[in-house]
C-alpha cells in the first residue's frame, strides 16, 4: 500500500481529485480562489515527476496517473480559457481543432502499434506543459491569444514527434527525451554490437 500511496502518486492524483474545484470557483465567479487553486494544482505536474525521480519512486502506476491527470488538465485549460477569455479561443479555433486531433491520434497510434496507450515525457512536451501552465496564469493580466497560437503549434509538434517515435520504434521508455536522442542511442547500440562482433572475429 505504501508503494501505491507515495507522495508523487498522491500529487498526480490530487490533480484529478481537486480539478472539479476549479470549475466550481469558475462558475461561482471567484477568480482569486480559481487563480490560487490553479497555481497550486498546476504545480503538481512538475513536483510529481521531480520527486518520483529524486526519491526513486518512479512506477508504472505513477506514470499512468500522470498521463490521465495531464489529459484532463489540458482539456480543462481549454475550457477555462474559453469561459474566461473566449476571444483567445475563438481566434485560435482552427489551431485548437488541429491540436486536439493530433492529441487524439497520439493515443490511437500506440494502441494500434503496441496495443497499449501512454504518452511520452519528451523535452518538447515537458516544456509545453510549463508553457500551458504559465499562459493560463498570464491570461489574467495580458492578452495571450498570440501566445496560445505558439503553444498550440509546439503542442502539435510535440505529439507529432511522439507519434513518429511510436511508429518507428514501437514501445519505448516513457521518459524518452526526443526522437533524435532515441535514434542516436539506437545507432550507438548497433555500433557497439557490430564493433564487438568484429573484435571477436579478429580474435578468433
Surface-to-core class of residue 47, CB atoms within 10 Å of its CB (0-12 exposed, 13-18 middle, 19+ buried): middle
Q: How many C-beta atoms surround the C-beta of residue 80 within 10 A?
A: 18
As given in the structure block, the three cell numbers for residue 169 are: 520504434
Distance CA 9, CA 88 (A): 33
Angle between helices 179-203 and 145-169 (to 10 degrees): 30
Per the prediction, the chain carries an average pLDDT of 89
φ/ψ of 177, rounded to 5, equals -80, -40
pLDDT in tens, 87-105: 999 999 999 999 999 999 9
Distance CA 178, CA 192 (A): 21
pLDDT in tens, 165-196: 999 999 998 889 999 999 998 888 877 776 66
Alpha helix positions (H), the chain: 7-17, 19-27, 31-54, 60-84, 86-90, 93-114, 123-138, 145-169, 179-203
pTM of the full structure? 0.83
pLDDT in tens, 143-171: 999 999 999 999 999 999 999 999 999 99
pLDDT interval class at 199 (50, 70, 90): low
Q: How many C-beta atoms surround the C-beta of residue 203 within 10 A?
A: 6
pLDDT in tens, 101-142: 999 999 999 999 999 888 898 999 999 999 999 999 999 999
Amino acid at each position: 500500500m505504501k508503494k501505491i500511496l507515495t507522495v508523487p502518486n498522491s500529487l498526480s492524483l490530487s490533480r484529478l481529485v481537486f480539478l472539479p474545484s476549479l470549475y466550481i470557483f469558475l462558475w461561482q465567479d471567484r477568480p482569486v480562489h480559481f487563480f490560487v487553486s490553479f497555481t497550486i494544482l498546476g504545480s503538481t505536474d512538475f513536483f510529481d515527476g521531480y520527486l518520483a525521480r529524486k526519491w526513486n519512486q518512479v512506477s508504472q502506476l505513477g506514470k499512468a496517473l500522470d498521463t490521465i491527470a495531464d489529459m484532463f488538465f489540458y482539456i480543462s485549460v481549454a475550457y477555462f480559457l474559453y469561459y474566461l477569455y473566449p476571444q483567445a479561443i475563438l481566434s485560435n479555433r482552427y489551431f485548437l481543432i488541429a491540436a486536439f486531433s493530433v492529441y487524439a491520434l497520439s493515443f490511437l497510434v500506440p494502441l494500434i502499434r503496441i496495443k497499449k496507450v501512454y504518452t511520452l515525457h519528451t523535452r518538447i512536451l515537458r516544456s509545453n506543459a510549463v508553457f500551458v501552465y504559465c499562459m493560463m496564469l498570464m491570461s489574467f493580466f495580458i492578452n495571450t491569444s498570440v501566445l496560445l497560437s505558439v503553444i498550440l503549434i509546439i503542442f502539435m509538434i510535440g505529439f507529432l514527434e511522439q507519434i513518429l517515435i511510436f511508429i518507428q520504434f514501437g514501445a519505448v521508455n516513457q521518459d524518452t527525451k526526443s526522437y533524435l536522442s532515441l535514434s542516436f542511442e539506437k545507432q550507438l547500440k548497433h555500433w557497439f554490437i557490430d564493433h564487438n562482433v568484429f573484435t571477436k572475429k579478429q580474435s578468433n
